[in-house]
Amino acid sequence: MKSKISLTVYKIVKTQRPFVDLPNEVDLQVLNGINMGNILHSDKTCSAIALHIASVMKKTICQNIISTKKKISILIDESTMFSKLTTLVVVKRTFFEDYPGDPYTFNLYLIELPNTSAETITKSLLDCLQNYGFEKTFLDECLIAFACDGASVMIGKNSGAAMRLKMAFPKLIFWHCSNHRLELAVGDVINEVFGINHFKIFMDKLYALYHQSPKNSNELRKIASSLEIQILKIGRILSVRWVASSKRTVNAVLNNYSVLCKHFSLASMDSTRDSGEKSKYSGLYKMMTSLQFVINLNAMSDALDEVGSLSEYLKRRDITLIEADKSIRTTIRVLDSMATDPGPKLTKAMFRLNEHDIIESLRIFKIDLGQGVIPNNLKPLFKAIATIPISTSECEQNFSALNEIISTLRTSLSIETTAALLFINCVGPPLSEFNPQNGIEVYTTNVDDVGRERF
């Protein structure tokens, strides 16, 4: 019976339901003829069992890592989404399988920081690791890498968190998240290349035009329907979001080019609009149909296809340092080649404009991913290299998962409970593979304190 309660609690957590659902879930199963017992039916019990399930899972994983002295890496990122205090998510990366294989990445805990100084971040991180049994002697031998974003409090050369950890563990490899570095590179290009800002301003106008006016959005959908073209969402480009979102936006404008032009043309002659609006749409139409804009749009799409694909590739959980290096070098060669040989979309556009001769050959870059036979004596080295995290995107994914956990149904969760729910949702096995015995043992000797209130 107790295992049935544990399984029910696990199902509630996995489906992002509030703890108060447990009494109703139990009542339903009783009506279906299942014996659920007379205790452990309250919402408080549900919360306590969920915490215990997460604790047992974490303890099992951490003890395995410590007992077998597996190499580990630490990823951290901070956010203020959970409360007024800054919250630090701590993620671990290791290998449970022989190399080659997939690395195992899991969130260890959420830490509320009283302040965001490098000293506080470092101390809180080390205290968290120690609470899970990772003593300094183990970390000296097995902690090989630390990854974070580019905030100065993290990577400051003199007193950043990474430097403080490096002083405590001299062999530690520090890695600045490759996705953040890619975003910084894109930002540098925006500042240095003339003309990109004008293109960005125009794209922002398109975003505002269709996100602030339901009328314009409806008109655009009607025109798209008449042309049998699926309208794609237009967002912002080259902003603080990942470059992959800029790629989707530019490609949306490119795919909806004829629809947008027709809408601007019709709106510029719409008698129901005032002269100011008609003049605005006329200007947008002239801009979109200009030769320079068509070239810029297609060239930007080609470039963002390459950079966006690289960004998405670097977020892969199983990517290694070697694979990341080769993919970055390949992207650099592709972008360099675009200076003399336009990308496929710009080439196609220039064919239509009759301003480019036929390109005789296509760019082909083959990446040697190092999938040859690895000698057994080198496998530990390759395994250690593969443990080094390339990106902190795993932390970002955990923050995205928090958006579902901290919902209107569950607004008063403690940091401990939130961390437990996050771990179960991101790391816990599917419901069909869950062993319910792990979640109930702690209550077998103290049932009088919980669950009695309903009977």
pLDDT digits (tens, 9 = 90+) for 243-252: 667 777 788 8
Question: What contacts 303, CB < 8 A, 6 or more positions away?
Answer: 335, 338, 343
Does residue 327 share a domain with residue 192? yes
16 lies in some domain: yes
296 lies in some domain: yes
Q: What is the CATH number of the domain that holds 139?
A: 3.30.420
> Is the model's pLDDT at 154 over the cut of 60?
yes
> Is the model's pLDDT at 453 over the cut of 50?
no
For residue 138, what pLDDT is reported? 94
125 lies in some domain: yes
259 lies in some domain: yes
For residue 330, what pLDDT is reported? 92
For residue 361, what pLDDT is reported? 34
Amino acid letter, residue 42 = S
217 lies in some domain: yes
Does residue 331 share a domain with residue 238? yes
Does residue 23 share a domain with residue 106? no
Separation of CA 260 from chain center: 31
Instruction: Work out how many domains the chain is built from and give that number.
Output: 5
Does residue 334 share a domain with residue 358? no
163 lies in some domain: yes
Does residue 335 share a domain with residue 189? yes
For residue 443, what pLDDT is reported? 46
For residue 232, what pLDDT is reported? 54
451 lies in some domain: no
Q: Which residues of 231-251 are buried (b: 16+ CB within 10 A; e: fewer)?
A: bbebbbbbbeebbbbbbbbbb
Does residue 437 share a domain with residue 335? no
Does residue 208 share a domain with residue 303? yes
Q: Which of 146, 176, 206 is the last residue of a domain?
A: 176
Amino acid letter, residue 130 = Q
Q: What percent of the chain has pLDDT over 90?
A: 23
Backbone angles phi, psi at 51, to 5 degrees: -60, -40
pTM of the model: 0.75
448 lies in some domain: no
> Is the model's pLDDT at 446 over the cut of 80?
no
Does residue 383 share a domain with residue 236? no
Q: Tokens in use for 99? A: 């190399």
Q: Which of 149, 176, 203 is the last residue of a domain?
A: 176
pLDDT digits (tens, 9 = 90+) for 36-70: 877 778 888 888 999 999 999 999 999 999 999 99
Does residue 111 share a domain with residue 167? yes
pLDDT digits (tens, 9 = 90+) for 348-384: 877 765 544 334 333 433 444 455 677 878 788 888 8
Does residue 288 share a domain with residue 333? yes
Mean pLDDT for the stretch of residues 228-244? 58
Backbone angles phi, psi at 197, to 5 degrees: -60, -40
Does residue 297 share a domain with residue 263? yes
Does residue 149 share a domain with residue 202? no
Bridge pairing between strands 173-176 and 143-148: parallel
Domain containing residue 83: 69-176
Q: Which of 5-9, 121-125, 258-262, 353-357 has the lowest mean pLDDT?
A: 353-357
